[in-house]
């Protein structure tokens, strides 16, 4: 199973990709998570990416394409993967298509999650993430049992530095301008499955599983 999650910031790509990765036993490959780890570890990629991420802009295509090509060569991707946050530009989508062709491999589906803008802002301003295990919570919609502590591992919960309202608005604008056109690109290829991303996390997950099974 080779899938892409397409959708604006806060649409639940990470939340749903994680659930699906567990169900299928394949990795969730999040370029955002990989880049944030690089920033934290102060690698040369992290140093180059940080400024763009803090501003809510996209990291330049060559850096992200090189990162994903390397990640997809790791053995755990042999049986499939779920791309969360990649591709985000036409150039990235074309690079992925070429890389897959070279490997004689192909995508199974692109899940396009649609959520209203006001809801995206509410979700992102309240998001909290575990520093230790990456589990995700929301101060109102999905609170941890003990404030500031992860239910899964007891780690410290933090707020992402790009989850401030001004940066969120810039990320949404970048999405509309640079990433939303990819829906047409994949629809043209017959891969697009559009999901209504409002409602409960479990209900949306069931709907994603249903459309994937119907397709198989």
Which of the choices Mg ion, ligand AP5, none does residue 201 contact, using the CB cut-off of 5 to 8 A by kind?
ligand AP5
| Residue 142 binding ligand AP5, by CB under 6 A | yes
Is 210 one of the annotated active-site residues of the chain? no
Backbone angles phi, psi at 90, to 5 degrees: -60, -40
Binding mask 2-41 for Mg ion (x = CB under 5 A): ------------x---------------------------
| Residue 53 binding ligand AP5, by CB under 6 A | yes
Answer for the pair 43, 50: CB distance below 8 angstroms, yes or no. no
Is 127 one of the annotated active-site residues of the chain? yes
CB of 216 to ligand AP5, least distance (A): 24
Is 160 one of the annotated active-site residues of the chain? yes
Q: How many CB atoms lie within 10 A of CB 23?
A: 13
In terms of DSSP H, where are the helices of the chain?
A: 13-24, 31-40, 44-55, 61-72, 90-102, 117-125, 165-174, 182-188, 201-215
The 136-138 sheet, strands edge to edge: 136-138, 127-130, 157-158
Tokens (6 digits) for 61: 């295509």
Residues that bind ligand AP5 (CB under 6 A): 7, 9-15, 31-32, 35, 52-53, 56-59, 64, 85-86, 88, 92, 123-124, 127, 136-138, 141-142, 162, 171, 201, 204
Residues marked as catalytic? 13, 88, 127, 160, 171
């Amino acid at each position: 199973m080779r899938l892409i999650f397409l959708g604006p910031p806060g649409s639940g790509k990470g939340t749903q990709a994680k659930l699906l990765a567990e169900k299928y036993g394949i990795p969730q490959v999040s370029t955002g998570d990989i880049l944030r780890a690089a920033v934290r570890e102060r690698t040369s990629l992290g140093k180059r990416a940080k400024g763009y991420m803090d501003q809510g802009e996209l990291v330049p295509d060559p850096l992200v394409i090189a990162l994903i090509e390397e990640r997809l060569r790791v053995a755990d991707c042999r049986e499939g993967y779920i791309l969360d946050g990649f591709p985000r530009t036409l150039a990235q989508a074309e690079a992925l298509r070429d890389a897959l062709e070279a490997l004689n491999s192909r995508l199974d589906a692109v899940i396009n999650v649609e959520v209203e803008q006001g809801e995206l802002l509410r979700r992102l301003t309240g998001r909290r993430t575990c520093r230790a295990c990456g589990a995700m919570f929301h101060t109102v919609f999905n609170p941890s049992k003990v404030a500031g502590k992860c239910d899964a591992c007891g780690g410290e919960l933090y707020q992402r530095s790009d989850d401030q309202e001004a940066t969120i608005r810039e990320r949404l604008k970048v999405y509309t301008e640079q990433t939303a056109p990819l829906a047409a690109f994949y629809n043209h290829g017959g891969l697009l499955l559009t999901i209504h991303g409002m409602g409960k996390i479990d209900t949306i997950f069931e709907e994603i599983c249903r459309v994937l099974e119907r397709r198989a």
